[in-house]
Amino acid sequence: MALCLAAVLAVLAGLGHAMAQDLRFFQIGTGPIGETRFAFGGLIANAISNPPGSRDCDKGGACGVPGMVAVAKSTNGSIANIEAVAAKRLDAALVQADIAYWAYHGTGIYKGKGAVQTLRAIAMLYPESLHLVARKDAKIASVRDLKGKRVSFGDKDSAEMVHGRLLLGAFGLTEAQVKLVQQKPGPAADALASGQLDAMLVVDGYPVPILNELAQRTDLVLVPIAGPEIDKLRTQNPFFTASTIPAETYKGIAAEVKTLDVGVALVTGAAQANDLIYGVTRALWHPSTQKLLTESHPRGKLVHLSASELDRLGIQLHGGASAYYFDTGVIK
């Protein structure tokens, strides 16, 4: 959060008092520092910002929403982000698409909690991959081999915990059959390196910095997430898509590994003004933003605007975003 605040303070320092009064802040929830959602959220925040006094877009200046400064905030992830958007503590957030779907419809992990009916989508962004990582000496070649092992599926109420439980269920395992350790990815990686943990699940876009660093100090395997059990899981959870993590993505892993991907969506609340979200959506898909994302992050080249990508959201579009997509002919 410190870097984001420093950037905001720098903007304010360059503005006169009158201009600062016209400034509107837009807070975007991302994910833990070190994960793709945090870095990517920072790029989006930069792209959709256009503080008073900025040069015109067509003159090489900011192409964001006039008078707005967006700030990317580190958070605990998708579940925390949805809660904060619903409570109006965040203006928008990056959220895994399956978590957003369950929240909006009151199903899955939100069954019994009540639907978050005010949740709205702005865009589908990029895919994240499930990384089931194990120590090489733990002899884990399949999800089924997690039985009796020390495993971290992230912190309590994290998206990793949700996805880890789904994987166990797909292979007929229960939480009681594994030695579950609730840790965030950073501490889990340290525990795995020191031999206190056998395996961990990370859901992020490859290459994951934490895993890159871990592979430098520990012999690892990426456990395949594939087979008839996973085919059935995909049928039950259509937000998962079959994917692969390329060979040599991480040190010591010479072959590609089959896994699952889940999309990351940009969401907001229904109460946000239509003209504001129209402007955010327009700025997000401006050619200058697409250039920034492509050149600044490996996931950037995977961000594409299409009707099929919007169909994968599974929740209602915000009125401002919908109007932009109609005006540009993306949806009819």
Instruction: Work out the pLDDT band at 263, boundaries 50, 70, 90.
Output: very high
- Quick: pLDDT tens for 156-174: 878 899 999 999 999 999 9
In angstroms, rounded to a whole number, what is the distance separating the alpha carbons of residues 149 and 47?
44
- CATH classification code of 129-262: 3.40.190.10
Mean pLDDT of 179-202: 95
pLDDT at residue 174, rounded to an integer: 95
Instruction: Work out the pLDDT band at 86, boundaries 50, 70, 90.
Output: very high
Q: CATH for 2-127+263-327, among 2.40.128.640, 3.40.190.10, 3.40.720.10, 3.40.50.720? A: 3.40.190.10
- Quick: pLDDT tens for 87-137: 999 999 999 999 999 999 999 889 888 999 999 999 999 999 999 999 999
Mean of all residue pLDDT scores within the chain: 91
Strands, E, within the chain: which ranges? 24-29, 49-50, 65-66, 68-73, 92-96, 119-135, 150-152, 179-180, 199-204, 220-222, 240-245, 257-269
pLDDT at 237 over 60: yes
pLDDT at residue 16, rounded to an integer: 52
pLDDT at 146 over 90: yes
Mean pLDDT of 35-52: 94
Q: How far is CA 252 from CA 5, 31, 49, 191, 196, in A?
A: 38, 28, 41, 19, 21
pLDDT at 2 over 70: no
Count Cα neighbours of 14 within 13 Å in the Cβ-side half-sphere: 10
Domain boundaries, the chain: 2-127+263-327, 129-262
pLDDT at residue 14, rounded to an integer: 52
Non-local CB neighbours of 211 within 8 Å, separated by 6+ positions: 131, 133, 189, 202, 220, 250
In angstroms, rounded to a whole number, what is the distance separating the alpha carbons of residues 242 and 225?
9
For residue 190, with 0-12 CB atoms within 10 Å meaning exposed, 13-18 middle and 19 or more buried, which class applies?
A: middle
Mean pLDDT of 212-228: 96
From the list 87, 47, 94, 90, the residue with the least C-alpha distance to 69 is 47
pLDDT at 281 over 90: yes
Q: Mapping DSSP to helix (H, G, I), strand (E, B) and coil, where does residue 328 land?
A: coil
pLDDT at residue 287, rounded to an integer: 93
pLDDT at residue 53, rounded to an integer: 87
pLDDT at 35 over 90: no
Which is more confident, 321 or 4? Answer: 321
Asked, colleague to colleague, whether 2-127+263-327 and 129-262 share their fold, the answer is: yes
133 φ, ψ (degrees, to nearest 5)? -110, 135
Q: What residue has token string 């969506």?
A: 265
In angstroms, rounded to a whole number, what is the distance separating the alpha carbons of residues 199 and 222?
10
pLDDT at 276 over 80: yes
User: Global pTM?
Assistant: 0.87
In angstroms, rounded to a whole number, what is the distance separating the alpha carbons of residues 220 and 326?
48
Mean pLDDT of 272-286: 97
Non-local CB neighbours of 21 within 8 Å, separated by 6+ positions: none
Instruction: Work out the pLDDT band at 1, boundaries 50, 70, 90.
Output: very low
Q: Mapping DSSP to helix (H, G, I), strand (E, B) and coil, where does residue 251 land?
A: coil
Q: Mapping DSSP to helix (H, G, I), strand (E, B) and coil, where does residue 102 land?
A: helix
Which pair of tokens denotes residue 256? 């590609």
pLDDT at residue 308, rounded to an integer: 85
- Quick: pLDDT tens for 301-320: 889 888 888 988 989 999 99
In angstroms, rounded to a whole number, what is the distance separating the alpha carbons of residues 247 and 215?
14
pLDDT at 8 over 60: no
